[in-house]
Structures are given as C-alpha cells and as structure tokens.
Homo-oligomer: A and B are copies of this chain.
C-alpha cells in the first residue's frame, strides 16, 4: 500500500447534458488545470454525471403506476409514479416503511429508491424529472478507461461512485457502483501481519474506500466537483469491477 495519497477535484467540469463525452470533459478539465494523468491514477466520477450523459432522465408525468406501485406508494408515503420507476429498476424490495423504500437494484446494489434522485437534476416540468442510475457502470468505467488511455497514453483506473445509506450507521457514504482498472475487492488472506502470521479473514472493499474518499471532495450540493483524481495508489489491475463489491443474496444475512 502507498504511504501518500492525494485527492484533487477537477475544476470547471460543466453541467453535463445527455450525449456529452465524459472523456472529453475530463480531458479538457485536466488540460485547463495544467494536470496530466500518471500511470496508477484513479479517477472517481460521480454517478450523477454518468447518468446525465446517458440521458437517464424520466419525467414522472409519463409514468403510469401499476396497482402494485399504488399499494406500495400508500405504504411508503411516496409518489406512486416514482414507486413504479423504483420497482422497474429493482429485483427485490428489501425493506419499506413510511418514507422509506429500500430495494435491491437490478445491478445488485441495495439502496433507497433504487438510486433514483432529483437533487442536482435541472428542473423541468415543475420538477417532475428524476434521474436513474447509469445503465452499466462497469461497462462505462471500462470504456472510459480505454478512451483515457488513448488520449493520455496512461494506465488509469476508473470508479463511478454514489452516496448511499447504510444499515446500522447514520449518514451516507460513497460506494463504487462501477470500476475498471483496479481490484475493487482486495483479498489479503494468506498475507502476513506484523508478527508474520497469516491474515485469516481480511477482504478489503478498496473500491468502496476510494469512492468514500472521493465523496468528501465531491460534496452533495452545489459544489460542481463531480470528478476526483486520486494519485498515489498505484495498484492498477485489469481485474476488478463494481459488481464484485455486491454481496450475493444467498450470502447476505441482511436481506
């Protein structure tokens, strides 16, 4: 592991519109800042700009709630059209109560409202527009990694992060929805401790730790800093994905 890590929020990333090229936005920001990329750098990108570039907007006025959504909306005090969208993005309802609807997203993430959100979404039609999670975060990370390598000739890793609530703890933290070029789960079993004994159970969610670190700089409000460059990790790998951070339902004691 490295002894130093620096995190730097890329300046001047504009408001992202559907169809925008994230490689171009990131490259232009780096060049304006007089920064390059180094082998081993990690770029952590907020889910929201990936979803925006993919045009993952839905106008709630276009959504027709099913009877099941109407029933669940009544139980959770939520807009039935939003509940319909949440159900369509999910494989399983994990918990619900008034004000709360926690589901397993079709990509496996357990999170409130299937990650559907309207903060930092440009208002349109009386604020009836919401934003879904990206279609394929791991695929997008892999593609961006390839594009950035073509542009900068450097081997970097990409993480797409989002802030989510947790069991047992107060407050959201960043997690990795997608990753490429980085072992997001690091299995230390068999490595040695300070006294030369083998570690028995150490499997580290490195992708989530990077996601959490970057979230500190990205903020949640009007900061406008959706991309964070993490320098110093230097653990590049062609393995690794956001999917490996999702615990299988069968092994999950909290579903």
Contact = CB atoms under 8 A, between A and B. Distances in A.
B206 A216 contact: yes
A145 B206 CA distance: 28
A100 interface: yes
A18 to B, nearest CB: 16
A245 interface: yes
Interface string A171-207: 1111100000000011010011111110110111110
A169 to B, nearest CB: 6
Interface string A8-27: 11010001000000000000
A116 to B, nearest CB: 12
Given A167-B110, A169-B247, A213-B213, A225 B3 contact: yes
Contact of A254 (B15, B95, B97, B173): B95
Given A167-B166, A173-B212, A216-B209, A194 B224 contact: yes
A63 B174 CA distance: 40
A201 to B, nearest CB: 8
Nearest to A9: B3
A223 interface: yes
Contacts of A205: 166, 169-173
Given A7-B6, A197-B123, A217-B1, A204 B171 contact: yes
B253 A216 contact: no
A175 to B, nearest CB: 7
A170 B5 contact: no
B216 A210 contact: yes
30 contacts: A1-B216, A1-B219, A4-B7, A5-B6, A5-B7, A102-B253, A119-B202, A120-B193, A122-B195, A123-B197, A163-B204, A166-B167, A167-B167, A167-B252, A169-B175, A170-B205, A170-B247, A171-B185, A171-B206, A172-B205, A173-B208, A191-B221, A192-B222, A193-B222, A196-B222, A204-B220, A208-B212, A210-B216, A212-B212, A213-B213
Contacts of A97: 253
B213 A216 contact: yes
A215 B212 CA distance: 11
Contacts of A171: 185-186, 203-206, 208, 245
Contacts of A120: 193-195
Given A9-B4, A174-B209, A200-B119, A193 B221 contact: yes
